[in-house]
Amino acid sequence: MKKIKTALISVSDKKNLKQLLNILTKNKVKLISSGGTYKEITNLNYKCLEISKFTGSKEILEGRVKTLHPKIHAGILNKRKNKKHIKDLRDHNFENIDLVIVNFYPFEETLKQTKRHENILEKIDIGGPTLVRAAAKNYNDVTVITSTENYSDLIDEIAKNKGSTSLDFRKKMARLAFSETAYYDSLISNYFNNISKTIFPKKKIINSNLIGKLRYGENPHQEAALYSTNKEFDINKIHGKPLSYNNFNDIFSALKISKSFPKNTGTVIVKHANPCGVSIKKKNIDSFKSALACDPISAFGGVVSCNYKMTKNLANELKKKFFEVIIANGFDKISLRILKKKKNLRLVDISKFHIKDFLNITSFGNNILAQTEDKIKVTKNSLKIVSKRKPSKKELDDMIFAFNTCKYVKSNAIVLASDKSTLGIGSGQPSRLDSCQIAVDKMKKFTKKNYKNEIVAASDAFFPFTDGIEKLIQAGVSAVIQPLGSINDKKIIKFANDTDTILVFSKTRHFRH
């Protein structure tokens, strides 16, 4: 146990100080503080010694230097049982500081409020992290608190131990403190990387906040947790049991596709992180029905992502089927009442969710793979019509839709489409020919309408041989879009011309492994 006799308090977030000051004063702890914190403590009618009077040195450089003083850091860092340390303190007339309560300048919040570099620089805390690191290093003798969330823990600890703290408590707080300084420094490091447009620095620091532990991972024997680079998680579950690791994996896959659609348009149904139906028809209820029609069997127990607000009519359609999760840009009151009757259904509101620039990261052992997100959208300007037969506007629009959908399907990927809706999707096969067969089989099994000469096909990579494109044409495909780049491109073009098929080349490919 270590008795707390002197505490240094310097906080940016001044909430909940009174209860803390009560317990410290009750245990006759001497209080030292500076600047705004000193004013807050005295305004609350507690006795407090200003740091400048404690050190005998005034704050200088407009407050940039106030706690950076030997009397402060010697008081924190000295080993209480080390004879040389005791002598040094006695020789300099320094005293121990047993408790350090510090939270930092709001650098993260400042980044959200301004882009002005000079203002951001001033919110980089120097003294705070230095105090925290010193106290955390010397946890054997000193208690450090870095968050208002831990005030109640400190109060309970002091009350239980009559003004003292245990080694286990100090060690736990030190662990949290070093995480806090590391996170804070990572924000600053990443800020400077961002403004210099350095995507892959020599040392990459990934910062995130724990949103919550999950029941388990992909399987019950695996542990899992959800982290976010935002403090406030912007995917809001408003109904249903907790979301699982697999639920989140599907939700993220669905949102990548949904947020690529035109505003307030489009429905995607995802199963096992792959789309099994996609439609961007203008009427929302039609887009859902078309997405479902693509593969209603695979859709069973899947995730439905609606890039629009949920309404009564659509809710009545959705309630007829079993889905694990329904995502929407908000839910009106009637749709909520309808869908909440299904106890096992999770409802997720993503009206405040926005995809920002990010790196895709995957790891294995000590190794991390990182890449920028595939944000390129196919447009008419990025395409080259290479066949003799030219596409109509409708055919070209459908090909662009199919190819933009294709990039979210696990490679090898084939997407068959018409009327801006998928008809068949072949995904995740080592053989492109097998993906063609799966897409064709899905279309034949579930498509009721006769789409004569209206079916387009998209492939996420070029066809190296004519067998794949031949299979698609035999199934009724009249137009194909694929990336260029094969040594057999001329053979593919000739085959398309021989079969009177529209062939369009994209300048980019879109693998998703």
* CA distance linking residue 78 with residue 142, whole number of Å: 10
Residue 35 zone, left/alpha/beta (φ > 0; ψ -120 to 50; rest): left
Residue 62 zone, left/alpha/beta (φ > 0; ψ -120 to 50; rest): left
Give the active site residue among 5, 39, 85, 137: 137
Give the active site residue among 239, 272, 321, 342: 272
* CA distance linking residue 415 with residue 277, whole number of Å: 10
Q: What contacts 190, CB < 8 A, 6 or more positions away?
A: 205, 207
Residues in the chain: 513
Residue 312 falls in the annotated catalytic set: no
Residue 272 falls in the annotated catalytic set: yes
Q: What contacts 382, CB < 8 A, 6 or more positions away?
A: 376, 506, 507, 508
* CA distance linking residue 61 with residue 306, whole number of Å: 54
* CA distance linking residue 164 with residue 502, whole number of Å: 80
H helices of 114-166, in order, are 117-122, 127-137, 151-160
> Can you count the helices (H) and strands (E) in the chain?
19, 23
**Could you tell me if 343 and 321 are in contact, meaning their C-beta atoms sit under 8 angstroms apart?**
no
Structure tokens given for 312: 């009564």
* CA distance linking residue 371 with residue 477, whole number of Å: 34
**Could you tell me if 424 and 405 are in contact, meaning their C-beta atoms sit under 8 angstroms apart?**
no
Nearest to 1, CA basis, from 134, 135, 140, 101: 140
**Could you tell me if 357 and 373 are in contact, meaning their C-beta atoms sit under 8 angstroms apart?**
yes
- Active-site positions? 137, 272
